[in-house]
């Protein structure tokens, strides 16, 4: 209809009307493009806010698990140090407690990282959607650091864990896993909070089996050196955890 009107105006050589028609067309196109841009910007902003919320929620969950991990490894270290003193006759532990502490010094905690929002942003190249520079840079620094995964890998494959597994009788080892291993900090799934080994446990074993297991540990000359290495590794891991915990301080700035 507009095209027909323009043609009629041209035939009539009504150049003022032609000019007005042209302006109307240009303005219409401009407004259409601008409206489209405004809508795109609105959707982009909504997407950015959603990712902000998701990323902050993930990092809050990480902060909780991070603190639980530090506490867990402090318990591992305490048991490792107590075991070493007992094995080298610098301190006395009854056979039951020595066996429990020696086992708990082997333990490690591996949790499922909360990083879905960050991984999605990185995979799509949308990290720039996070307008808060501190949040974005902290997330990049934290999620690209691998010391937590390495700490778990080193613990899982520690020389001391190997030596203990080679030495402790299978039925004793099984009892230790079932009765003295990691327990959930809450009734929720392990991955939601973490685990602890800081609780009293009792083995349902004949006294002679416990005595025999402890004797085997004390006779393994490789156990004490491996335990010293374990103590050094866990101490370093705890120091790294304590140092990097400050990365989460910025979360206090966000009100929920």
Three-state DSSP class for residue 38: helix
Assess contact for 2 and 27: CB atoms under 8 A.
no
pLDDT at residue 82 is higher than 80:
yes
pLDDT in tens, 220-229: 999 999 999 9
**Nearest partner of 64 among 199, 251, 233, 255, judged by Cα:** 251
Q: How confident is the model at residue 81 (pLDDT cuts 50, 70, 90)?
A: very high
Cβ neighbour number for residue 210 with a 10 Å cutoff: 20
154's enclosing H/E stretch is helix 147-156
Residue 216 confidence (pLDDT): 96
Entry pTM? 0.77
| Helix ranges restricted to H, 12-146 | 15-87, 95-104, 116-124, 133-144
Q: How far apart are CA 239 and CA 221, in angstroms?
A: 29
Residue 168 confidence (pLDDT): 94
Q: How far apart are CA 73 and CA 197, in angstroms?
A: 9
**Nearest partner of 79 among 210, 168, 205, 87, judged by Cα:** 87
pLDDT at residue 142 is higher than 90:
no
Beta-carbon contacts of 83 under 8 Å, excluding residues fewer than 6 positions away, are: 93, 98, 101, 102, 105, 227
Assess contact for 96 and 203: CB atoms under 8 A.
yes
Q: How far apart are CA 117 and CA 57, in angstroms?
A: 9
pLDDT in tens, 152-194: 888 889 999 999 999 999 999 999 999 999 888 765 554 556 7
Task: Kindly report the average pLDDT of the chain as a whole number.
Answer: 82
pLDDT at residue 44 is higher than 50:
yes
């Amino acid at each position: 209809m507009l095209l027909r009107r323009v043609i009629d105006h041209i035939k009539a050589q009504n150049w003022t009307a032609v000019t007005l028609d042209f302006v109307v067309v240009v303005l219409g196109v401009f407004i259409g493009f601008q409206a489209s841009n405004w809508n795109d910007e609105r959707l982009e902003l909504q997407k950015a806010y959603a990712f902000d919320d998701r990323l902050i929620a993930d990092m809050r969950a990480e902060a909780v698990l991070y603190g639980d991990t530090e506490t867990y490894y402090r318990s591992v270290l305490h048991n490792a140090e107590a075991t070493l003193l007992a094995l080298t006759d610098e301190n006395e532990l009854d056979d039951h407690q020595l066996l429990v502490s020696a086992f708990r010094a082997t333990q490690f905690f591996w949790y499922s990282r909360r990083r879905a929002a960050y991984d999605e942003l990185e995979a799509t190249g949308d990290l720039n959607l996070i307008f808060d520079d501190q949040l974005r840079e902290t997330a990049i620094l934290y999620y690209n650091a691998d010391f937590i995964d390495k700490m778990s890998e080193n613990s899982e494959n520690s020389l001391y864990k190997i030596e203990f597994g080679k030495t402790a009788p299978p039925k004793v080892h099984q009892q230790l896993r079932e009765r003295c291993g990691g327990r959930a900090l809450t009734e929720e799934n392990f991955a939601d909070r973490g685990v602890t080994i800081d609780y009293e446990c009792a083995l349902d074993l004949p006294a002679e089996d416990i005595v025999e297991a402890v004797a085997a540990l004390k006779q393994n000359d490789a156990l004490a050196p491996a335990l010293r290495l374990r103590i050094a590794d866990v101490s370093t891991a705890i120091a790294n955890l304590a140092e990097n915990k400050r990365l989460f301080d910025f979360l206090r700035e966000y009100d929920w």
